[in-house]
Amino acid sequence: MHILLATDAQWVLDEVHSALGTPETSFVVCSDGRDVPQAIKQRTPDLAVLDLQSGSMGAMAVTMDLRLDHSDGRAPNVPVLMLLDRLADVHMARRSGAQGWLIKPLDSLRLRRAANAIAAGDVWHEGMPVEA
């Protein structure tokens, strides 16, 4: 699996590498969300893990740009896992078109489960009411 990670926080980088790193996994890291489109042009990731606040362009803006570029054929569809700071950010994550999100603090088990679900074409939504 090839993962694009957009974060400027070393602890997030460490958590994601620890949780998702395997011999079969490769990473490209962007410390600023503005660098994500170029990284995708170089190699399309199987999953983009985007930190809510990353450099001058965070996960919401990056995800919306990716969705707009895909909708008019300028970019491939890239599954997005957003790393949110708080429950109140869920509404914006939903509106951006992300396939999934986790609310910090992070842990390896949730990261792996969410990443595997999204890479397999499913969704992962924390902080949402469960439908009966």
What are the pLDDT tens digits along the chain (132 aa)? Answer: 999 999 999 999 999 999 999 999 999 999 999 999 999 999 999 999 999 988 889 999 999 999 999 999 999 999 999 999 999 999 999 999 999 999 999 999 999 999 999 999 999 999 876 554
In a domain, 95, yes or no: yes
Q: Which domain holds residue 23?
A: 2-125
Residues 6 or more apart from 65 whose CB is under 8 A from it?
A: 36, 37
Secondary structure of 23-68 in HEC code, one letter for each residue: CCCEEEEECCHHHHHHHHHHCCCCEEEEECCCCCCCHHHHHHHHHH
In a domain, 131, yes or no: no
In a domain, 12, yes or no: yes
In a domain, 130, yes or no: no
In a domain, 30, yes or no: yes
In a domain, 132, yes or no: no
Task: Indicate the pTM of the whole model.
Answer: 0.93
- Number of domains making up the chain: 1
In a domain, 21, yes or no: yes
CATH classification of the domain holding 11: 3.40.50.2300
